[in-house]
Amino acid sequence: MKVAVVGATGMVGEVMLKVLAERNFPITELIPVASEKSIGKEIEFKGKKYKIVGMQDAVNQQPQIAIFSAGGGTSLEWAPAFAAAGTTVIDNSSAWRMDQTKKLIVPEINASELTKTDKIIANPNCSTIQMVLALAPLHKQYKIKRVVVSTYQSVTGTGVKAVKQLENEYAGIQGEMAYKYPIHRNVIPQIDVFEENGYTKEEMKMVRETHKILDKNIAVTSTTVRIPVVGGHSESVNIEFENDFNVSDVRKILHDTPGITVQDNIDTFTYPMPVYAEGKDDVFVGRIRRDESQPNTLNMWIVADNLRKGAATNAVQIAEYLVANNLV
C-alpha cells in the first residue's frame, strides 16, 4: 500500500506513524505530508528516512490511502482532491463527520457499512469513540434510552501547545497559553467553542456523533471538561436502558467485546486511569455499578488514550479493514 500521512509532524500524526509501524500496516511506500514549513524535512519510519512533501505533490503520487490529521480547513480543501485522484481518505477532523454522504466509522461497530465507493471516511471525535465502543454491545442487549456523560479530558486533545502550557505552569514558567485560563491546578468546563444552545461544540459532537454511529433515538446529554492530565480522556457515563440488566452480565458483555478491557475490582482498587491507558489501544471500562436512584440504569467509568483509540488507532483500524476487505 502506498499511504500518505497528512499532518505527519503533528501530535496525532506522530502517534499515527507509531501505530502504523507497531501494527505492521502493509506500507510499501510512505508519503509524509505536512505544512509548507516542514516540506523537505525528514521523518523516520521503521528505521527508514522519508522526506516530507506538500499536499499537491502527495495528491500527484496517487496513494491508495491518505490518513488526515491536519485540521478541518485542510481536510475540506484537500480531501476531495485526494479522492478525485482515486485515494481513499480517512479523516480525523470534524470536517466530514456530520456530512450525510460520508460514513462515521468505529470499526468494531460499523466498519461493515464501508464500500469501495467511500472515498472520504470520517473518524469520530475522541471522546465519542471511547464512549460508543462501550455503549454499542449494551445497546444491542438492553436498548439504551438515555445517556448522561461527563468527561475529564487530557490536554493532548488540544495539542502540543496545551501540553506545553501545562508543563510551563507546572514549572512556574510564563509562556504561551493554549487556554484562556491556567490548566495546572485547574479544571476548565469548556472544550471548543459554545454553540447557540449553551453547550460546547465538543458536547454536541458527543450527542450528534452517537446518534449517527449508534442510534438517533438515544437521548444523550454531555458536559465536557478539560483537566490537567496527559495520557487519556476519562468519562463518567450514566446509562438508562429500556430493559433490565444484571451487573455481572454487563461486565461479561464488555469483557467479550473486542477493543475493550474491563478493569473492575473494587477489592483490589482496580479501575481505569489515564496513567494506565496511555500508550495502549484499548478502551478501559470499570466502576460498573447499578444506579440505585432509578430503574434499569447503570453507571460506569471509561478511559482511553485519546491520541490512540480516540484518533490514530481508530483511523489505522479503518485502513486495516479497507485492506482486508479489498476496498482500496
Q: List binding-site positions for NADP(+).
A: 9-12, 37-38, 306
125 or 234: CB nearest ligand 2RA? 125
Residue with cell 505530508: 33
The reply on whether position 10 binds ligand 2RA by CB under 6 A is no
Binding site as annotated, residues for substrate: 153, 226
Under the binding rule (CB under 6 A), the answer on residue 231 touching ligand 2RA is no
Q: CA gyration radius for the chain?
A: 20
Q: Compute the distance between CA of residue 81 and CA of residue 247 in angstroms, rounded to an integer.
A: 49
| Residue 274 binds to ligand 2RA (criterion: CB under 6 A) | no
Q: How far is CA 60 from CA 53, 83, 119, in A?
A: 11, 12, 16
Residues flagged as binding site: 9-12, 37-38, 97, 153, 226, 306
Is there a catalytic annotation at residue 184? no
What 3-state DSSP class applies to 252? helix
Closest CA to 32 of 227, 174, 21, 142: 21
Measured N-to-C along each axis, helices 126-142 and 201-213 cross at an angle, to the nearest 10 degrees, of: 40
| Minimal distance, residue 202 CB to ligand 2RA, in Å | 6
Number of Cβ atoms within 10 Å of the Cβ of 127: 28
Residue choice 9, 74, 123, 125 for contact with ligand 2RA (CB under 6 A): 125
Please tell me whether residue 281 binds ligand 2RA under the rule CB under 6 A: no
Position 158 contacts ligand 2RA (CB under 6 A): yes
C-alpha cell at 226: 478539560
- Does 202 sit near ligand 2RA (CB under 6 A)? yes
For residue 150, the SS3 value is strand
| Position among 87, 88, 127, 130 found at the interface with ligand 2RA (CB under 6 A) | 127
Q: Which positions touch ligand 2RA (CB under 6 A)? A: 125-127, 153, 157-158, 191, 202, 306
